[in-house]
Structure 1
């Protein structure tokens, strides 16, 4: 088994890890890759942030009245330009 992986392989392992499907050796290979690849570290950080956001489904939305006001203001501005 090779230790070094490409960025594409690292991203695939990262995705598998997100769903707890990555093996121990895949995680080791990913972590070695992350030591020297800044782009994949950013990808992994964004992936972890997304996973955390999906686990907390508490979504805050605007009230209906505020939505209607915003929509009306946008339509007015679009007509002026």
Structure 2
């Protein structure tokens, strides 16, 4: 198994780890990469800050009904504008 990973793969694993989607081996490779890569440590730190900020802001998404109503209203307005 390859322990050394390129930065783009480390970024991808960092993102997956943030959402608890990475495997044990992916996390292990990421941690080894972070030992020697200052740029990826900064990326990971900023990624954590962003996730914490969004979590603290308690951002709520629209439910499916609201999204569908908004989409229909938008399509109607677009059709009216094209007439």
Distance 1:33 1:17 in 2: 14
The Cα shift of 1:54 comes to 1.1
1:14 correspondence with 2:17: no
Cα RMSD for the two superposed structures: 1.4
- Superposed, 1:48-63 pairs within 5 Å as 48-57=48-57
How many correspondences in the alignment? Answer: 59
Question: Residues 58 and 21 from structure 1, CA distance in 2 versus in 1: closer, same or farther, beyond 3 angstroms?
Answer: closer
Alpha-carbon displacement from aligned partner over 1:11-41 (angstroms, at most 9, x marks no partner): 0000001111011110000000000000000
State the 4+ residue runs in structure 1 displaced beyond 6 angstroms: none
Q: TM-score, normalised by structure 1?
A: 0.69
**Structure number, greater radius of gyration:** 1
The Cα shift of 1:57 comes to 1.2
Where in structure 2 are there 5+ consecutive unaligned residues?
60-83
